[in-house]
Amino acid sequence: MLFGGFLIYLGLIGAAAGAVSLLHPLRFLGIRSRGKGLLVVGLGFLAFVAGVWLPVTETRVADPRTLLDEFAPAYQFSEFHSVRIDAPRQRVYEAIRAVTPEEIPFYRTLTWIRGFGRPSPGGILNPPERRPILDTFLSGAFLPLADDSREIVFGRAGDGWGRKLWTAGEFKQPHAAPFVKIAMNFRIQEVDAAHCSLTTETRVYAAGPRTLRGFAAYWRMIQPGSALIRRMWLRAIKLRAEESAR
């Protein structure tokens, strides 16, 4: 996935540099003529297409062990992050529920870039001040799927165009393509009475050739920013939980 994203961004930057060079060659980049600028535009386009059309592999969980496994046993796109927290499990759980956007540097900017500046369902990109991020997620954009105080799972799924969204009860049912199913969790694993490991994982399954290709391009473009947001979210939870424990 990282290589696909690299090709897409390389293609976009190259095509932009080539396009500018059609008006004024960027000699400091080695583009000394408009003809070379046109060549760079073409190469950038080819790199972008290659990044979009890289093969997508599917993963299936043979032996479900977590709540996320039950709701998303098959996926083509995923990211996983973890952090160790010096606080008991209940403090970590409360911190997950309480962290606000103000505790994550540049949260609104990063989510705005991730969404390409478009309006978002549930106000994820522009959440109310001092409102917990998880509350914002679960107020419209995502559905709560499971919560046993050790693992919280939420998700969003539908026809891939946002016209028909599934209910929580439809998440485990088979559906005909096209559709996109996104599931995410926070999972707390106790190391001992005063220490925990907190993980978050996001899984996506896209069904249907057009839907899969379109989501592959989108995922490869937003994945670096998405990963940064997840890591910073975990860090904010860690800081809040440890402060509360002290």
Question: What is the per-residue pLDDT across 92-118, written as a single tens digit (0 to 9) for each?
Answer: 999 999 999 899 887 777 676 655 444
Query: Is 42 in the same domain as 106?
Result: no
pTM for the full predicted model: 0.84
Query: Is 90 in the same domain as 173?
Result: yes
Query: Is 21 in the same domain as 115?
Result: no
C-alpha 113/C-alpha 32 separation (Å) is 33
Query: Is 11 in the same domain as 102?
Result: no
Residue 62: partners with Cβ closer than 8 Å, 6 or more residues away: none
Return the pLDDT at 118. Answer: 47
Coil, strand or helix: which one is 119? coil
- The torsion angles phi and psi of 152, rounded to 5 degrees, stand at -115, 130
Query: Is 114 in the same domain as 236?
Result: yes
Half-sphere exposure of 92 (CA within 13 A, CB side): 28
Query: Is 13 in the same domain as 72?
Result: no
pLDDT bin (cut points 50, 70, 90) of residue 128 is low
- Domain count across the chain: 2
Query: Is 86 in the same domain as 200?
Result: yes
Q: Hey, how many other C-beta atoms are within 10 angstroms of the C-beta on 46? A: 14
> With contact defined as beta carbons under 8 Å apart, do 186 and 199 qualify?
yes
Query: Is 171 in the same domain as 233?
Result: yes
Residue 2 pLDDT greater than 80, yes or no? no
H or E segment and range at residue 187: strand 179-192
Domain coverage including residue 27 = 2-53
Return the pLDDT at 161. Answer: 64
The DSSP letter of residue 139 is I
